[in-house]
Amino acid sequence: MKYAIQPLFDVRCHHGEGPVWDPQAQQFYWVDLMQGQFFIGDWETGRVETHVVGQPLGVLALREQGGVVMALRDGFFTYDTHSRELKQVSPTEADVQATRFNDGAVDPKGRFWAATMTYDGTEPVGNLYCLNEAGAVQRHEQNLMLPNGMGWSADRKTYFFADTERHVVYAYDYDLETARLSNRRNFIEFGPEGFPDGLTVDTNDHLWVAMWQEGKISHFDAQGKKVEDIELPVSHPTSCCFGGPEMQHLLITTSQRPLSPEQKKAQPLAGVCLQIQTNTTGQPEPRYLG
């Protein structure tokens, strides 16, 4: 299938990440990770708000009671988008200067998951955490290299999780009531030249994976078989989610961080969010209940 790819909002990030769609307000949230800021773009007007939080911001999610929950360098925080007040919920790791949060998502029960990594992603010391609605944090995985995109199947029984530097998307059996992960297996293996970044899962349990430095979104069916590659006008897509009025637009964050000055000139959309109209419907992002 041939797709029309268009820029979304007039903002160019250093390293765009963490896309989240708010179907109630028809707004799109995304972060500029190392710049410690995030944006809220209005679908109808094109207006964009900028919010600065002052430390590396790996991922955010909407809260049921308003505002957002965020995984920052120093731990989990909530943020009021009206008063712009930042409150720490919980620190996560003592040596906060050596690691940072990179990606995450809210599970169907309203818990916020996020994972840590070293700044260069070369040491297997990352941890996967879950923040429950009471503000308690539990570690579920460790020894991760470069933890990235995650999501759940439509029946809530399978959890998907990418480790970029290990070139794999894992699948786990998922117990929704207890948040227990079990039976980890390699769901999609990309080989040494494949770097799966952020991902999203649609209503048919198809995975759409941003392929870092390969300049494409790779689309896989519910069995992990590749359906198609969608070539992009940038070399470093970082993540994607479904949004728009009918939840059928694929919204893609991108990066200009690894590019040379010459490459930045050749890729004027690097760092810009992109949109693609599809025939697929995405799953709405759950809201954090804490």
Positions annotated as catalytic residues are 197
Residue 241 in contact with residue 251, Cβ under 8 Å?
Answer: yes
Integer angstrom CA distances of residue 62 from 14, 19, 132, 288: 23, 11, 14, 6
Integer angstrom CA distances of residue 184 from 177, 180, 187: 18, 11, 9
Burial class, 115, CB count within 10 angstroms (exposed 0-12 / middle 13-18 / buried 19+): buried
